Chains A and B, each alone.
Chain A
Amino acid sequence: MVLGADASFLNPDKVLLLVVLAATCVCIVGSMLAARAGSVPRIRRIAGLEAVEEAVGRATEMGRPILFVPGIQDMDNPMTVAGITVLSRVAGTAAQYDATLDVPVSRSLVMQAARESVQAAALQAGQPDWYDPERIRYITDEQFGYAAYAAGAMARDKPAACFYMGCFFAESLILAENGNAIGAIQIAGTAETAQLPFFVASCDYTLIGEEFFAASAYLSGAPDQLGTLRGQDIAKALIALALAAGVVMATFEAFSPATVTDSAVEVAP
């Protein structure tokens, strides 16, 4: 690619965003290195993730399957990737308990990733024969076609535990309400803010936004992964400080004599 004489190396409109991103990355990587050096943070208990084992155990006791829905988006969506990481942990637990795990997917690439992930989890659990690729199957890319299949599968197979981890849109409520109707224990996780109220209303546990992205690190328990969560919190504290400073400055600016005088002049006839 040849750059013209007027082309700049850096997009001037995005410099501030770059600074914020760089600061966030420094916080996260710094905390990760600190955790690797021994300063492992303590993570608060996330009820939805603590309940994974309980849900799998319940399904095993009842002799009914577990349904895992990794959302309806492809692998280029961070929520789908986060959902697949949770799937690997759920699959590991299910393999240990020898419970049946069904994973209908709406994207072919997700099917491949989910198969790889579940197979590896079964191997790690020492149950390679437990893995059945036909249980992770492609249904359709069509949003409501997929929701119709999942709802039908719930009505037919009556899974004892349902996991909804990924990116969801309007189908979220169809899935969660059907799961609720069959009395399944339901754990959902998404970063789609418009769908969160539906999951909260219909599911037993809901991982809200960042909790969902923290699930992988939380479940792995690996120090460097847990360290990234502390980095996230440090970045959040810095953003909160910047917001508070912005609010204070905007308030002062609004009530400063110059602003008040200007307003009066504008209002005066």
Chain B
Amino acid sequence: MSILIDADTTFIVQGITGREAVNLTRECLDYGAGARIVGGVTPGRLGRDVHGVPVFDTVAQAVDHHGGPIDGSVVTVPPAFCKDAVLEALENGIGLVVVVTERIPRRDVAEMVEVAEQRGARIIGPNCLGIIVPDVIKMGGIGGPARDAAKAYRPGPVGVISRSGGMTTEMSSTLSAAGLGQSTAVSIGGDAIIGSTYAELMPLFEADPETRAIVIYTEPGGRMEAQLAAWVAENHSRLPIVAFMAGRFMDEMPGMSFGHAGTIVEGREDTAAEKIARLTAAGIQVAERIEDIPTLIQERL
């Protein structure tokens, strides 16, 4: 089992004719059982195809061509067009939008998220590499070409959630080498506002019978870890969690953030030291080194 996606998931790629998107499409088609990419969208490119995937001008055309609702979309368009692309996907009934694009202003992200909430849809990212269910399907560039993704990811009991795309693969590879596969690995994105936080994905893993433990990668900045700690304390989760915190050195760097108003809603919980203390207090084990994670997980299974 898995969360968010499985072998039957249908999705489109918005911005499919871009260089990175062409590669991403190839990778997803090649991986596991082969992703069901039912269309791509690039305005003005109707009628072309990318690795056999038909290209449309609009999401509505893709839905028409498919003849029914499409589950997801991978959005990889330039930042200035990203909000519009995501809103188009949401308005056309897509329930899971993976936003790969980086450097999107927060106002746009907040708007996308607000509309997704109203539609009962979910956004992963922005600034993320997507989702992978080992040996089954990947949605996004996560793990890279199918051959490389297969080296790092193996099926198993560990759910992985990471604010860094690259570290999702690094940590999963370390787990795999120790005989611990992954149920689903999610690169949630590194921005200040993201569609799905750790705490928002936890109920999905909680409901997945195959998942028996969680590994998270985290960094200074924001309140996402405090939110996770609160979720764990309130929900008596059956899942042991092991966290890895990078960027501890940033605590000593003055001037990383300015302003007083920000510290009311974020500030004091922003540092690595504060987050480690908070996670630990919630019963989440914080690993000193990535290579320690497999043992910490095995002790808790």
Say whether A associates with B. Answer: no
Query: A: which residues have CB within 8 A of B?
Result: none
